[in-house]
Chain A
Amino acid sequence: MIPQIFILSIVLFLMAKAMPGDALTGLIDPSLDPDALAAMREKLGLNNPWYVQYWDWISNAAQGDLGNSFKYKMPVTELISQRVSNTLWLALATLILTYLIAIPLGIISGRYNDTFFDRIISGYTYIGFAMPLFIFGLLMLWFFGFYLGWFPTGGSVNPRATEGVGYVLSKIYHLLLPALSMALIGVVSTVQYLRNEIIDTKQKDFIITARAKGASESRVYNRHIFRNSLLPIAAFLGFEITGLIGGTVFIESIFAYPGMGQLFIQSIVGRDFSVVIAVALLFGIASIVGALISDIILNIVDPRIRIK
């Protein structure tokens, strides 16, 4: 894992530096003295060769100092910690909603395949596949946020709520609509996976054996099919961790929800290198860890796989 992260950091660093312009390019302002800008570039070390810049950065990063954001003029770690909690809560809510919706739908659709309900559910998953998240998010925002007025239309918390129970409730209230929007689109692949797995497993020999031995239908489904069908879903969970940290650019911009995805895009547009690299590295680490967690989960739920 360590060499992976190390190589990832070099690649990220080089690619970030290859972007045209730097954090000062946006400050095109005749009232600013070009000499002062040149002095700032020198001060920030932007004129050094890449390996010097990389060494400066990696040696600090190893000590937990990811540098300062040029735009925000504050430590990157502080900036990320402000955002990451929003994204974590949003992702957690999305994850819970996703599984709450996906598992029952998948089971119904798989168990009663080719029935009326299955067709409805399959139809929904096809629409979900076809529907881009940012369109769906806008529709949800318009309908539930503006038209019905049931949910707040932006932000992560009511500006007036600053502490206590009100603060927590306001936070939850604010993340329900974006989380639901993501979950309703996000469930479709899980539903399809689960459906296909169940249909697949139904025809396996050991199910026929179980039926032949007189196991009741509910026992067949709950004990034999369901557990086996959940394997790929469980493997997915690790990758959801990446989503937990990464957030989603679309939903966060549509709902003006300040999280990591929004921070990432803004820092790219603003050429805020220290933030770009730090956030991208964090995403990378999250997905490496996510892969590891997937393997561990699979290992737990599937006795056929064992780490030697």
Chain B
Amino acid sequence: MKKSSWSRSWQVVLMLTLVLALAACSSNGGNNSANPGTGNNTPSENTSNQGENSTDDGKPKADADGNFNIADFSNVKTNRGEPIQGGSITFGLVGDSPFEGTLNFNFYSGAPDAEVLEWFDEGLLTWDSNYVYTNDGAATYEVSEDGRTFTFTIRDNVNWHDGVPVTAEDWEFAHEVISHPDYNGPRYGSDFTNIEGVVEYHEGKADKISGIKVLNDKQLQITYIKSTPSLLTGGVWIYPLAKHIFKDIPVADMAASPQIRQNPIGIGPFKVESIVPGESVVYKKNTDYWRGEPLLDEVILKVIPATTVVQELKSGGVDLVSDFPVDQYPDNADMSNVEFLGIIDRAYSYIGFKLGTWDAEKKEIAMNPNAKMADVNLRKAMWQAVDNDQVGKKFYKGLRWGGTTLIPPSHPDFHDASNPGVTFDIEAAKKTLDDAGYAYDGEWRTNPDGSPLEINFISMTGSDISEPLAQYYVQSWAAIGLKVNLEMVEFNTFYTKVGSEGTDDPNVDVYMGAWTVGIDVDPTGLYGHDALYNFPRWESEENDRLLAEGVSEKAFDVEYRKQVYKEWQQYMVEQIPVFPTLYRSLLSPVNERIVNYAIGDGTGFYRYNIGVTEDKPVVAK
């Protein structure tokens, strides 16, 4: 008997080994883009020019080849009828992971938590379609002559859900908590260290942050060390923390406290009524909301898996969803009870070339002039060899399309639409390689010195098409004579190899990744010479100069800043440490009964405006 239970438990150990090994091969469900955003999950306003393919019923139609165009989608819901008084809607939080329940903007780290938060809390400043702070929000701001000192004034009628007014002290308190040495959230970073006195406070050398002054109950003054245009686009921390609730809780215990997990508080249009952890949230309207009383009485948020999102939408189980898998759109484009809104996503997929390593001592890039991919002609030929527009059509029905520069069109002010990037041309690619001396040696090309050339390419697993997509690129490169070895790896392994910890895998030459970009256009965090996430490990003086110009004081002049980034985009098209492969669209289905709803910023719609025309959701015919 003893023997038998021994062997059984070893079976369990073996079984668990298999589970772990399997899990290590899978990945996080296709959500492969690392997120460099500042936590502001708000996408851009769509260029609202209606494309030629939209029809009378407002539904975008595919062209003859079955491809769609994001320009055919509106980002504002068409109102069909007058809203009724009150009503209740259901919001589907799509994802295979439930929200973690850290329900405070100062502490959360997962995107699902942000979706939960946005119904009941909001920042004190809002921004326009170019992501520049406006004076329409719960607070207004003024900038001093030298651009370093901001004075914020909170409106008088802005109250916490318990009725206590929001004060300048609450805002200061949020800064103190995030800068506290015991703070365990992910927010403390360069946005904070750019405030005068924060570093001293963080290191325990000061009791107060010298750069933050409470002028009176409603006014706060913050002095930044360096003035940059980025301050106006997401560089200010706009989320207060209710001091009357949190002041007695030690900073290290705040994130786990019931004040954040069970009875979270905010200033938004809805109040949290009840939470089933990881599963659902019921919100009731906040009659005291500073913009006015919300139209809806109630919002229910529930977690739904991506596998059933279409069914839930058809049956009216949800009115709105946080996220819709773009690959399911072509089959469901004529769903009769919803309208699909669409915008261009703040993201791009790209292929990067490893050109150096990370010097952990100096904390900067150490370029390797002898890297396998060091010749710009080789990189250029690899860009010329791939037809990204075709990839977008074949794999995404046109809802992703070929990228041209490293600033995506979600930033219409800064994306240089006139720059074609490097266009697809097989013959040109071959010529580029011939001219650079990459001669054929039998089946494959060799290095100019005659040594064999084998390029190691890694890509992430995640969705059904991850591997075919990567294979397409391998084949395109084979077509111009380059021998490329593909290895598919899972998300965590991928970024470890690429260098998220500074220990780059020397065997990787080329990789395929994706970035979600912040609302501020400044790409220094991805391409600066001291940026750990500069995965190609490439730098140049010109690049540093342009990046610095982009955030200089002169760049407060938008025209000048545009010019700088136009030059930078062109410079990157010439240097090609990475090249963009696909731009992406973001689709959002909305039940027909919903009115006053839009996605994106600067639309003039806020969540308290949302209403319904009928009691019950419209069901698909």
Out of B26, B38, B274, name the residue touching A162 (CB < 8 Å).
B274
**B302, A33: Cβ atoms closer than 8 Å:** no
Taken residue by residue from 144 to 157, chain A's Cβ proximity to chain B (1 for < 8 Å, 0 otherwise) reads as 01100100011111
B293 within 8 A of A: no
Cβ-Cβ contact count across A and B, 8 Å cutoff: 203
CA distance in complex: A283, B491 (Å): 26
**A8 (CB) vs chain B CBs: closest residue:** B13
What chain A residues lie within 8 Å of B6 (beta carbons)?
Answer: 4
CA distance in complex: A72, B24 (Å): 21
Tell me whether A284 and B16 are in contact in the complex, defined as CB-CB below 8 angstroms, given that A34-B502, A36-B188, A258-B98 are known contacts: yes
What chain B residues lie within 8 Å of A83 (beta carbons)?
Answer: 278
**A153, B20: Cβ atoms closer than 8 Å:** no
A31 within 8 A of B: yes
Interface residues on B, range: 35 or more
Within 8 A of A (CB), among B208-246: none
What chain B residues lie within 8 Å of A29 (beta carbons)?
Answer: 34-37, 186, 533
CA distance in complex: A269, B23 (Å): 7
**A156 (CB) vs chain B CBs: closest residue:** B279
B100 within 8 A of A: yes
**B109, A71: Cβ atoms closer than 8 Å:** yes
B327 within 8 A of A: no
Interface locus among B305-313, B439-447, B605-613: B305-313
A303 within 8 A of B: no
The interface size of chain A toward B, counting residues with CB under 8 Å, comes to: 65
Within 8 A of A (CB), among B1-46: 1, 4-6, 8-9, 12-13, 16-17, 20, 23-24, 26-28, 34-38
Out of A15, A153, A159, name the residue touching B312 (CB < 8 Å).
A153
**B98, A19: Cβ atoms closer than 8 Å:** no
B317 within 8 A of A: yes
A30 within 8 A of B: yes
**B36, A31: Cβ atoms closer than 8 Å:** yes
**A154 (CB) vs chain B CBs: closest residue:** B304
**A8, B279: Cβ atoms closer than 8 Å:** no
Out of A30, A72, A82, A138, name the residue touching B102 (CB < 8 Å).
A72
What chain B residues lie within 8 Å of A284 (beta carbons)?
Answer: 9, 12-13, 16
**B107, A73: Cβ atoms closer than 8 Å:** yes
A292 within 8 A of B: yes
CA distance in complex: A287, B6 (Å): 11
Out of B184, B255, B281, name the residue touching A159 (CB < 8 Å).
B281
**B493, A21: Cβ atoms closer than 8 Å:** yes
In the assembled complex, the CB of B360 is this many whole angstroms from the nearest CB of chain A, namely 9
A213 within 8 A of B: no
A28 within 8 A of B: yes
Interface locus among B189-197, B389-397, B452-460: B189-197
B interface with A by C-beta (< 8 Å): 1, 4-6, 8-9, 12-13, 16-17, 20, 23-24, 26-28, 34-38, 96-98, 100-102, 107, 109-110, 184-186, 188-191, 193, 255-256, 261, 274, 276-282, 300-305, 307-308, 311-312, 314-315, 317, 363, 490-493, 495-496, 500-502, 518, 524-526, 531-533
A interface with B by C-beta (< 8 Å): 4, 8, 11-12, 15-16, 19-21, 25-36, 40, 68, 71-75, 82-83, 138, 141-142, 145-146, 149, 153-157, 159-160, 162, 242, 253-254, 256, 258, 262, 265-266, 268-271, 280, 283-284, 287-288, 291-292, 295, 307
Known contacts A19-B24, A20-B496, A28-B495; can you find 18 more A-B pairs with CB under 8 A? Answer: A8-B13, A21-B496, A25-B492, A25-B501, A26-B491, A29-B533, A31-B190, A71-B100, A74-B255, A154-B302, A154-B305, A254-B308, A256-B305, A269-B97, A287-B12, A288-B8, A288-B12, A291-B9
